Amino acid sequence: MGIRRLGAALQPLTRDGRAPIVNLVVNHGESAIDRTFAALADPTRRAILARLALGSTTVGELARPFEMSLPAITKHLGVLERAGLLRRERLGRIKRCQLVPGPMKEASDWIEQYRQFWEDRFDQLARFLEEQKRRPKGRDSNGRRTGSRGRRS
């Protein structure tokens, strides 16, 4: 792979001579709520959390209902653990997992702020639409006639 100089930066070339498209995801400074929502975005991880809500269990028990390898489940558990949503502890050869509900409460509180905002907006819209239905056709909110005021022929 060659190197092409663009300004002061060096960029590797692909086999066809073009610079590669690189998706630069910045994880530096990622907040706890960002990690929580990222963890909750996957249906497998949500199912794992639903199971853990019933009580702590082993990694093997968590893996049983899924059609994926134990290493794949372990990666999902790592994402949940980094988000603070579960805690793993080793008891001899057995690893047990336990739900940690705090980060979900924080996410729920964040969503609640926006739920209230949108409910208020929808209530305003409902009042406006109801007012529009009661208003006689061809009249504005002050009762004046609307529409064209052209001369009749």
CA–CA dist 81, 87 (Å, integer): 6
For residue 19, what pLDDT is reported?
Answer: 59
CATH code for 29-101? 1.10.10.10
Structure pTM? Answer: 0.62
For residue 17, what pLDDT is reported?
Answer: 63
For residue 145, what pLDDT is reported?
Answer: 75
Average pLDDT over residues 32-37: 95
Domain boundaries, the chain: 29-101
For residue 133, what pLDDT is reported?
Answer: 87
Bridge partners, 86 (sequence order): 99
What kind and span of H or E run contains 94? strand 94-99
What kind and span of H or E run contains 123? helix 102-134
Q: What is the mean pLDDT of the chain?
A: 82
79: how many CB neighbours lie within 10 A of its CB?
19
pLDDT at 42 over 90: yes
For residue 147, what pLDDT is reported?
Answer: 66
